[in-house]
Structure 1
Amino acid sequence: MTAQTVNAPQTATEAAAIELRQVSRWYGNVVAVNDVTMTIGPGVTGLLGPNGAGKSTLLHMMAGFLAPSNGTVTLNGRPIWRNHEIYRDIGLVPEREAVYGFLTGWQFVLSSAKLHRLPDPEAAATRALATVEMQDAKDRRIETYSKGMRQRVKVAAAMVHDPRVLLLDEPFNGMDPRQRLHLMDLVRAMGAAGKTILFSSHILEEVERVAQHIEVLVAGRHAASGDFREIRRRMTDRPHLFKIRSSDDRRLAAALIADASSGSVSLSEAGLEVQAIDFRRFTRLLPRVARDAGVHIWQVSPADEDLESVFSYLITRSTR
């Protein structure tokens, strides 16, 4: 299914922008969000970061369900916290299971439409369920739904009032490939229609496929901002640590340390550990150096490719 075929709401609306200015949120001595400043405008923005980075806390402050401990969160200049009128403009899809299993999908989405006091809640609920392809399962109890179906019914409830801003917390978790593609198409279509969409994820590839703009959050701090090409470049250009096993680690180490692309080289019983300062140059250098030195390479593996190390590098650079 393509973005053009998704039945996304097409209501013309005023552009909406959420602004965060020096926003922090702490729980006792634990700082969940630390001095974050960013603006989320129309289109699709991805909030990228490892688990525990503070993404959910940030989204809940943007939705008006959580007060910032410091700083301000506004929608088009209006404060969001304790402003009930804002709820007409914002829809939130939380990561946690915020559904009642004993209700049917229809009852759950209809109750959301009634809470928003829509003039025709039945029609709005029907539209929302059709948009996420849940009309055939609407009369089943939510407790019988799969994880992916529960995700979709939460999306339907969040968009039943056709909000200008839609906030989604890890929305693709638990969905099968077809469901993921459909929701991705829907999110892109709503962004193209002028809505302000922000969704969180800890998977870079997921964000790349949907978002035009990316905000990176690490350990509660705003680490980077830009389009996915810029974020990918920053991740690729960071120093990389490789573990190498070869037929002659000592000879290979001597050859590698002579080149500027190798920041440090260390030997151990487990093999050779090399920090590559220039990733692209090093990947071309390694096979050539090994060939010239007459060394056979048995194994090359990254030692720091987990998300925590990648994002930690970004946050280190952003605080210099």
Structure 2
Amino acid sequence: MTTISIDNVSRWFGNVVAVNDITMTIGPGVTGLLGPNGAGKSTLINMMAGFLAPSNGSVTLDGEAIWRNEQAYRQIGIVPERESMYDFLTAREFVVANAELHGLPDPQAAAQRALATVEMEYAQDRRIETYSKGMRQRAKMASALVHEPSVLLLDEPFNGMDPRQRLQLMDLLRRMGAAGRTVLFSSHILEEVEQLAHHIEVVVAGRHAASGDFRKIRRLMTDRPHRYLVRSSDDRRLASALIAHASTAAIELDLREDALRIQAVDFAGFTEFLPRIARDHGIRLFTVSPSDESLESVFSYLVTA
């Protein structure tokens, strides 16, 4: 099981601090790296890939420094955000060249496997200059996978992909994570991160803002009331019974939705009290749905904190 450890890492460019004293561990499975534009995500990925040296702290792969460590590239595959490809080559030539650079015993066979993995055989003999953005992304992906790395780093890999290509890549990354590989990807499309990542790391203004399952992160935000949409057989009676309880901060009757909108300041207290008070008053609960427990809500709270 391969692990990347980032310990008290900072990186500055002149007077600009891009990453400020970040510590995190990226292990097997799929991890989403989130943050606003300019938060330091690409700088972090470039340090994990060995393209940048930390100004302070250390970035290691299973305990070994990645910077200036050629052996690390036997285990790391990277799909950068920037377009830096040899457009006069075909995808097959491009991936074969990378297989040869890795010193693989059969570069042609390895390239063919990688192109099949990303479903690019149909266009493998066309020049890259004729490719759409999504096809270029898949060619880069094949190049990153050609040596079957245990770690895969992807910077905005879904950019330019159509819906079908996105679903294919998401399925591939899920399978890789389930097989025990360490997969880290950044994305500004929160819905994709929510569907794909079992773990998130959030960076805001160069600092580490949160780590873990986003639902657990939300429940740790005790300064933010939890919002619920509740439908019942008698919304008015339920509201009257709930309003006096210490776990609720506010209740609104939403006539358009025919439901109650409840702000709960005590997550555990509210989730225990709600079914009990409904039972005691003979009220049936039809819907109890958190309305701010999505990744989008959690990310918004973290960014505006």
279 and 140 in structure 1: CA distance in 2 versus 1, 3 angstrom threshold: farther
Match of 1:87 among 65, 69, 73: 73
Judge conservation of contact 2:217–2:298 (CA < 8 Å) in 1: no
Matched, 1:218 2:201: no
Deviations 1:212-257 (A, max 9, x none): 11111111111001113224556897379xxxxxxxxxxxxxxxxx
The amino acid that maps onto 1:132 is V
Measure the CA separation in 1 of the matches of 2:266 and 2:10.
35
Tell me the CA shift for residue 279 of structure 1.
12
Q: 1:312 is matched with which residue?
A: 303
Deviations 1:111-133 (A, max 9, x none): 11011010000000000000000
The amino acid that maps onto 2:71 is E
Matched, 1:130 2:121: no
Q: 2:148 is matched with which residue?
A: 162
1:66 is paired with a residue of what secondary structure? coil
Q: 1:202 is matched with which residue?
A: 188
Measure the CA separation in 2 of the matches of 1:174 and 1:278.
41
2:54 is paired with a residue of what secondary structure? coil
* 1:96-175 equivalence runs, <5 A: 96-175=82-161
Deviations 1:157-176 (A, max 9, x none): 00100011000001111111
Judge conservation of contact 1:110–1:122 (CA < 8 Å) in 2: yes
Q: CA RMSD in A?
A: 2.7
Judge conservation of contact 1:50–1:308 (CA < 8 Å) in 2: no
What runs of 5+ residues in structure 2 fail to find an aligned partner?
227-245, 251-262, 271-295
Measure the CA separation in 2 of the matches of 1:47 and 1:174.
19
Measure the CA separation in 1 of the matches of 2:222 and 2:23.
25
Measure the CA separation in 1 of the matches of 2:70 and 2:45.
17
238 and 147 in structure 1: CA distance in 2 versus 1, 3 angstrom threshold: farther
Judge conservation of contact 2:29–2:198 (CA < 8 Å) in 1: yes
Deviations 1:140-183 (A, max 9, x none): 11111111111111010001000110000011111111100000
Measure the CA separation in 2 of the matches of 1:34 and 1:41.
21
TM-score by length of 2: 0.75
1:153 is paired with a residue of what secondary structure? helix
- Runs of 4+ in structure 1 deviating by more than 3 angstroms, as ranges, are 231-240, 259-262, 276-281, 305-311
TM-score by length of 1: 0.72
Measure the CA separation in 2 of the matches of 1:105 and 1:152.
9
Tell me the CA shift for residue 50 of structure 1.
1.3
2:52 is paired with a residue of what secondary structure? coil
239 and 219 in structure 1: CA distance in 2 versus 1, 3 angstrom threshold: farther
Matched, 1:56 2:42: yes
307 and 98 in structure 1: CA distance in 2 versus 1, 3 angstrom threshold: farther
Aligned residue pair count = 250
Tell me the CA shift for residue 202 of structure 1.
2.2
Measure the CA separation in 1 of the matches of 2:65 and 2:84.
25
Q: 1:40 is matched with which residue?
A: 26
99 and 277 in structure 1: CA distance in 2 versus 1, 3 angstrom threshold: farther
The amino acid that maps onto 1:153 is A
What runs of 5+ residues in structure 1 fail to find an aligned partner?
1-14, 241-258, 263-275, 282-304
Deviations 1:241-297 (A, max 9, x none): xxxxxxxxxxxxxxxxxx9847xxxxxxxxxxxxx896999xxxxxxxxxxxxxxxx
Judge conservation of contact 1:113–1:161 (CA < 8 Å) in 2: yes
Tell me the CA shift for residue 309 of structure 1.
5.4
Tell me the CA shift for residue 198 of structure 1.
0.5
Tell me the CA shift for residue 54 of structure 1.
0.6
The amino acid that maps onto 2:188 is H
Judge conservation of contact 1:23–1:68 (CA < 8 Å) in 2: yes
